[in-house]
């Protein structure tokens, strides 16, 4: 009886353990892109580019696997260390709104596509991994890569590459002149202004 | 004689534009890759004005009024000719396997695809893998040189500008001797390209804080990625938080050459 109980506990522990451990970066990408494309295929509002619908999709399916603080931190650069917790929160909020809007535009075009994972490779000299995938449909496949790092037990996305362009790297040079001229608050104001203008259209 | 004439015309137009560069002085955003930023910004503004007044409206009308089946067919024919050019460059870059794939792609699309109107090759997993002379020069060891925005043609580098005349040679206008038909095909090619880029440029307007530098950084990153067939040396995103951006690189021997 005790033995059986023990083995059940051991089994349960094993299952719980694997539930965390089995989600390797490529499995995560497979799950994530499958869910997002399914949603884009079935949901008319998402196909039409309904931003609030897409925000809730992103919040539910994508954000749990993204270390957005790390993304914002690397895009902001050294000045991040001098930012107050409140500034950091606002930066993340505005940056996220900007990215989701861009993402919404891209999503309206993927309903007839499939995603194929082409390769997973480690980043030399770090614990990071890169999962390379291709969005296939018409003609030239679109490259879509994810950079992962471990946060505790879980793998989290810390950068995304679309068509050869790393998001964080590209935004770093977008943010730098704003920070140089107006500081962290200047950058927050600029992002907020951009988001407001986009929301009106 | 054609390529030198194009280059001369482009350079003359560029020189003309440099004369009327009146943008407010601003701090250089990437002096290493873009030493001619002031000049480039004025050409960028000029291109934007032409695009807004002429090209984008025409391309939008083309997208909205020409049935998508027709547009797809036209894009496929142009694409098929580009694919033949790409195949040559796969071989020139020492990649016979992908060169054969692209040759197969062109053969399939030219025959079963009715002279390139249809694209059955993609269905057969022979996807388009574009290559061009600029990339071949890079593989042969040529660095990109400074970033350069060309009048009407847009983002480029010195290397890609030198390669451009050759890359513009293969076009459907080779199929006819009649000058009027040739010009018609050239215009159609430009409108078709612009129409397919409408979504991308909309995206640029939304994503960028500074459209000029966003377009530049995206162009340079994309070209580097293309040159390395999707595996360029990596930046370390997390380094930036504590130290000035350091470059870690995966072992890619041509990497340092292509960067400089």
Res B246 pLDDT > 50: no
Question: What is the distance between the alpha carbons of residues B114 and B104, in angstroms, rounded to a whole number?
Answer: 15
Cβ–Cβ gap A126/B128 under 8 Å: no
Residue B200, number of CB atoms within 10 A of its CB: 12
Confidence category of residue A22, pLDDT binned at 50, 70, 90: low
Among A10-19, A114-123, B240-249, the minimum mean pLDDT is found in B240-249
pLDDT of residue B168: 83
Instruction: Average the pLDDT over B87-103 and give the result.
Output: 93
CA dihedral B5, B6, B7, B11 (to 10 degrees): 100
Partner B, chain A 69-108, Cβ-Cβ below 8 Å: 70-71, 73-74, 76-78, 80-81, 98, 101-102, 105-106
A76 confidence band (pLDDT: 50, 70, 90):
very high
Q: Mind listing the pLDDT tens digit for each residue in B183-195?
A: 888 888 889 889 8
Q: Which residues contact A15 (CB under 8 A, 6 or more apart)?
A: none
Inform me whether the C-beta atom of residue B127 falls under 8 Å from chain A C-beta atoms: yes
- Name the minimum distance, in Å, from the CA of A60 to any CA of chain B: 22
Q: Check if the beta carbon of residue A172 is closer than 8 Å to that of residue B245.
A: yes
What pLDDT is attached to residue A114? 83
- pLDDT tens digits for range A163-190: 888 889 899 989 999 999 999 999 999 9
Question: Who among A71, A165, A176 is closest to B221 (CB)?
Answer: A165
**pLDDT band of A105, cuts 50, 70, 90:** confident
Q: Is A57's pLDDT higher than 90?
A: no
Please check the confidence at residue A75 and state whether its pLDDT lies above 90. Answer: yes
Residues B147-184 pLDDT 10s: 999 998 899 999 999 998 888 877 766 677 788 888 88
The mean pLDDT of B113-119, rounded to a whole number, is: 88
Note whether A195 and A98 are within 8 A (CB).
yes
Q: Are A170 and B119 an interchain contact pair (Cβ–Cβ within 8 Å)?
A: no
ipTM above 0.90, yes or no: no
Q: HSE on the CB side for A40, CA within 13 Å?
A: 23
Q: In which region does residue B114 sit, left (phi positive, over 0), alpha (psi from -120 to 50) or beta (all else)?
A: left
Q: Chain B residues with CB inside 8 Å of A80's CB?
A: 241
Strand-pair partners of A147: A130, A159
Given a cut of 50, is residue A120 above it in pLDDT?
A: yes
* Euclidean distance between CA atoms B227 and A86, whole angstroms: 42
Long-range contact set of residues A190-197: C-beta below 8 Å, sequence gap at least 24: A190/B209, A191/A91, A191/A94, A191/A95, A191/A97, A191/A98, A191/B209, A192/A94, A194/A98, A194/B209, A195/A94, A195/A97, A195/A98, A195/A101
Answer whether B84's CB lies under 8 Å from B170's CB.
Answer: yes
Segment B74-83 shows an average pLDDT of 90
Give the whole-angstrom CA distance, residue A76 versus residue A82. Answer: 11
């Amino acid at each position: 009886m005790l033995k059986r109980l023990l083995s059940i506990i051991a089994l349960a522990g094993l299952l719980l353990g694997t539930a965390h451990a089995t989600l390797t970066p490529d499995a995560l990408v497979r799950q994530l892109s499958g869910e997002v494309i399914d949603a884009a295929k079935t949901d008319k509002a998402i196909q039409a580019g309904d931003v609030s619908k897409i925000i809730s999709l992103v919040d539910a399916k994508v954000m749990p696997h993204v270390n957005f603080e790390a993304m914002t931190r690397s895009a902001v650069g050294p000045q991040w260390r001098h930012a107050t917790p409140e500034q950091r929160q606002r930066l993340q909020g505005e940056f996220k709104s900007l990215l989701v809007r861009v993402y919404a535009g891209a999503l309206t075009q993927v309903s007839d596509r499939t995603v194929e994972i082409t390769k997973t490779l480690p980043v030399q000299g770090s614990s990071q991994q890169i999962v390379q995938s291709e969005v296939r449909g018409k003609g030239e496949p679109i490259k879509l890569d994810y950079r992962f790092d471990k946060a505790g037990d879980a793998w989290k996305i810390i950068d995304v590459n679309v068509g050869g362009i790393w998001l964080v790297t590209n935004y770093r040079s977008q943010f730098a002149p704003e920070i140089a001229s107006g500081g962290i608050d200047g950058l927050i104001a600029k992002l907020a202004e951009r988001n407001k203008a986009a929301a009106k259209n | 004689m054609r390529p030198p004439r194009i280059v001369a015309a482009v350079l003359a137009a560029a020189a003309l534009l440099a004369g009327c560069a009146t943008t407010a002085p601003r701090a250089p955003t990437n002096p290493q890759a873009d030493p001619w930023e002031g000049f480039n910004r004025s050409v960028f503004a000029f291109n934007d004005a032409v695009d807004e007044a002429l090209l984008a409206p025409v391309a939008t009308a083309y997208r909205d009024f020409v049935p998508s089946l027709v547009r797809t067919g036209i894009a496929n024919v142009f694409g098929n000719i580009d694919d033949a050019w790409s195949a040559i460059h796969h071989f020139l870059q020492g990649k016979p396997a992908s060169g054969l794939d692209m040759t197969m792609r062109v053969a399939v699309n030219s025959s079963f695809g009715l002279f390139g109107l249809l694209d059955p090759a993609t269905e057969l997993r022979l996807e388009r893998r574009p290559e061009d002379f600029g990339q071949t020069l890079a593989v042969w060891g040529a660095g990109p040189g400074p970033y350069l925005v060309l009048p009407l043609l847009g983002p480029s580098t010195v290397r890609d500008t030198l390669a451009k005349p050759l890359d513009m040679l293969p076009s459907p206008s080779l199929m006819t001797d009649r000058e009027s038909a040739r010009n018609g095909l050239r215009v159609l090619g430009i409108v078709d390209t612009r129409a397919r880029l409408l979504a991308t440029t909309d995206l640029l307007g939304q994503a960028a804080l500074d459209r000029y530098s966003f377009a530049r950084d995206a162009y340079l990153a994309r070209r580097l990625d293309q040159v390395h067939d999707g595996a360029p040396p990596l930046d370390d995103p997390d380094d930036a938080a504590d130290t000035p951006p350091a470059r870690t690189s995966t072992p890619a021997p041509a990497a340092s050459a292509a960067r400089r």
